[in-house]
Amino acid sequence: MMKQNRNIVFTTIGIDKDTNVLIEKICKRYSLKKGEIVKLAFVYIDKAHINPADAPESVKSELSKINKRQDDIIRFIRNYEEKELNPMIRTSHSIASKFDKTVERLSAKVDSEIAHSKDTLINVLRKLDEQFGKVADVINNQSKAINNQFQAQKKDYAKLLKLISLYSELAACGVMDGKRKENLKTEIISLINEK
């Protein structure tokens, strides 16, 4: 193994017996060496900006300082709450209330418009239904009239065909068929007079 080159320069300090007892007690408690304890203590004093010449204050006075700081913070929070937060909360509540009222009013208006539109649509549909019913009745009546007219024409055409048939038979009868001619003439006259 190679020897490590150590350029650390150690110095000594003089401490009294009581301080030595205190350092040894802390060393045992935290399992540290005396040099480590001294180093850590000075680092702590430096970071915490503690003046070792100032006499340490009692726990009561430190607690009272902490309590005073807490009271100052609580006072600041309450003051901020009174001046800033509560007015914002009241304003936002007022805005929310107005918004709710406006939404309710608009909702009621929309509902009434929908109901009115629905009623209007129903009335229009009823009128259309009535008009289509009338048109259907007219179409049905015309259909019946056309059907009746067709039946009458059919009957007339049948009658006309029968008349033509009878006239052609009458024309075909000779001089000797007098009785047959008379029967045909009677049949033609009754067919013409038939309604």
Looking at residue 193, its pLDDT comes to: 77
Structural contact between residues 166 and 191, judged by C-beta atoms closer than 8 angstroms: yes
Q: How far apart are CA 158 and CA 164, in angstroms?
A: 10
**Residue keyed to tokens 């915490």:** 48
pLDDT beneath 70: ranges in the chain: 1-6, 55-59, 174-177, 195
Looking at residue 59, its pLDDT comes to: 67
Looking at residue 49, its pLDDT comes to: 81
Q: How far apart are CA 104 and CA 112, in angstroms?
A: 12
Nearest to 37 by CA among 55, 15, 59: 15
**What is the value of pTM for the model shown?**
0.35
Looking at residue 5, its pLDDT comes to: 60
Looking at residue 95, its pLDDT comes to: 92
Looking at residue 1, its pLDDT comes to: 42
Looking at residue 55, its pLDDT comes to: 64
Measured CA distances, 70 to 45, 65, 66, 67, 75 (Å): 25, 9, 6, 5, 8
- Report which DSSP code applies to 88: H
Looking at residue 175, its pLDDT comes to: 58
